[in-house]
A and B are shown apart, each in its own frame.
Chain A
């Protein structure tokens, strides 16, 4: 089943002088893990930000489980749904940021329960139960009462992943989840994502970890200059890229 779909996405900045996304088409099926790779400035983050409604697209469709968040009109402009529609759509996805963006004034537990009670209307008991389940899974149950500033970067990112999962999203987006971490801490995050993949969580991951993308993803998308240059089976794309641009990009990771 198709969970997420973007068609003909156009996005520019600076009064249309900087064309960042040029007719992007992506769809993701339930249970699929998609890795997005590409050089800096190619538009990967912008793509995720459009998908998660943090940026508005200039043109294109944005669809979650057959519900339109935005629809292309006859002039090729994105027309977004109303507040209620966007709220419904928002409950379909979660996003894990590069720099975590935990709420520093909340304990780890409250970071996980606050949105559950405020947004989903769950009871405090249910929210706490769900939060503790997830913390257990992340190996952080003992940190429930701690504050984010007392945790390592890797622990903070695991809390951020748990916070996103607590909302029970259908699809989870990651924007370079290990880039802000010391190299020795990236492993614990990749392990968590790997585990989620084994549980058939649908995920779209922007990453520079080529070997990770190759091992975990079902599909790799290579972006450059605002277009999808190549996509397909990770081993094919990463080991035997068809396109010259992909080859050039990957040669920088040759030691991987």
Chain B
């Protein structure tokens, strides 16, 4: 196989890598906020259950969670494995990343000075207006560096989809490497991830810069 066909085949997989990446972000960023709010709930049962779920999601390998979501329904209920593996893969990724984002959101929200809430309250903002207009925009700025870290990790984590043989770039690369007994596909994969992350870094940097208009 020539290097060119290798790259062609792998870029086909790269579309799927991008699908995992973007779908995970689209679902996990908002889901993380819901989880964070549940985690901070005044109801002790709700917050403790959420805390436990978060600690399980962060305390076990994502690889295991991928296997559980993909094959769990088969072993538990005898359901056939989803034909389009993108669905279980994205579900597993989204839930796992939501747990990480939730903790980042929570840290950001809890770092907000109480004076911001009090100033808004005295001015007559409702609780939800305070959160949406006053707290959230400041939290987003504060947590942006941590979010960037997670997004960079996600780029590399997409390769874990090989454990359930979802045909993303790394899975294809691995197959080619096996059949051709060549190390080259791994090099190619490495370059793909590196370039992808350079773009991610650039974009996140732009976003952070746009929020630099104050303090």
**A and B are partners in one complex rather than unrelated chains:** yes
Interface residues of A (CB under 8 A from B): 52-54, 87, 90-91, 93-95, 97, 99, 101-105, 114-115, 118-120, 147-149, 163-164, 167
Interface residues of B (CB under 8 A from A): 113, 115-116, 118-125, 129, 133-134, 137-138, 141, 213-215
Known contacts A114-B133, A147-B213; is-contact A105 B124 (Cβ 8 Å): no
Interchain CB contact (< 8 A) of A149 among B115, B122, B133, B215: B215
Interchain CB contact (< 8 A) of B125 among A99, A104, A119: A119
How near does chain B come to A57, taking the closest CB pair, in angstroms? 16
Interchain CB contact (< 8 A) of B137 among A54, A87, A105: A105
Cβ-defined contact, A87 with B116, below 8 A: no
Q: Which residues of A contact B119 (CB under 8 A)?
A: 97, 101-103
Q: Which residues of A contact B124 (CB under 8 A)?
A: 87, 90-91, 115, 119-120, 167
Cβ-defined contact, B215 with A103, below 8 A: no
Known contacts A103-B134, A105-B137, A118-B129; is-contact A147 B122 (Cβ 8 Å): no
Interchain CB contact (< 8 A) of B122 among A52, A102, A120: A52
How near does chain A come to B124, taking the closest CB pair, in angstroms? 4
Supply 15 A–B pairs (Cβ within 8 Å), ascending by A.
A54-B118, A54-B122, A94-B123, A99-B115, A101-B113, A101-B115, A101-B116, A103-B119, A104-B214, A105-B137, A115-B123, A118-B125, A120-B124, A147-B215, A167-B124
Q: Which residues of A contact B138 (CB under 8 A)?
A: 104-105
How near does chain B come to A83, taking the closest CB pair, in angstroms? 9
Interface hub of A87, A95, A105, A147 (most chain B Cβ within 10 A):
A105
Q: Which residues of B contact A164 (CB under 8 A)?
A: 122-123
Q: Which residues of A contact B122 (CB under 8 A)?
A: 52-54, 90, 93-95, 164
Q: Which residue of B lies closest to A114 (CB)?
A: B133
Cβ-defined contact, B118 with A97, below 8 A: yes
Q: Which residues of A contact B118 (CB under 8 A)?
A: 54, 97, 101
Q: Which residue of B lies closest to A150 (CB)?
A: B214
Q: How far is the CA of A115 from the CA of B120 in the complex (A)?
A: 8
Q: Which residues of B contact A94 (CB under 8 A)?
A: 122-123
Q: How far is the CA of A147 from the CA of B213 in the complex (A)?
A: 8
Apart from A101-B113, A105-B138, A148-B214: 19 A-B pairs, beta carbons within 8 A: A53-B121, A54-B121, A54-B122, A94-B123, A101-B115, A101-B118, A101-B119, A103-B120, A103-B134, A104-B215, A105-B141, A115-B124, A118-B133, A119-B125, A119-B129, A149-B214, A163-B123, A164-B122, A164-B123
How near does chain A come to B113, taking the closest CB pair, in angstroms? 8
How near does chain A come to B112, taking the closest CB pair, in angstroms? 11
Q: Which residues of B contact A52 (CB under 8 A)?
A: 122
Cβ-defined contact, B214 with A105, below 8 A: yes
Q: How far is the CA of A17 from the CA of B186 in the complex (A)?
A: 67
Q: Which residues of A contact B129 (CB under 8 A)?
A: 118-119
Q: Which 3 A-B pairs have the closest CB atoms?
A: A101-B119, A119-B124, A101-B115
Q: Which residue of A lies closest to B213 (CB)?
A: A147
Q: Which residues of B contact A115 (CB under 8 A)?
A: 120, 123-125
Known contacts A97-B118, A105-B138; is-contact A119 B214 (Cβ 8 Å): no
Cβ-defined contact, A167 with B123, below 8 A: yes
Q: Which residues of B contact A147 (CB under 8 A)?
A: 213-215
How near does chain B come to A112, taking the closest CB pair, in angstroms? 10
Q: How far is the CA of A175 from the CA of B138 in the complex (A)?
A: 25
Interchain CB contact (< 8 A) of B116 among A103, A119, A120: A103
Q: Which residue of A lies closest to B116 (CB)?
A: A101
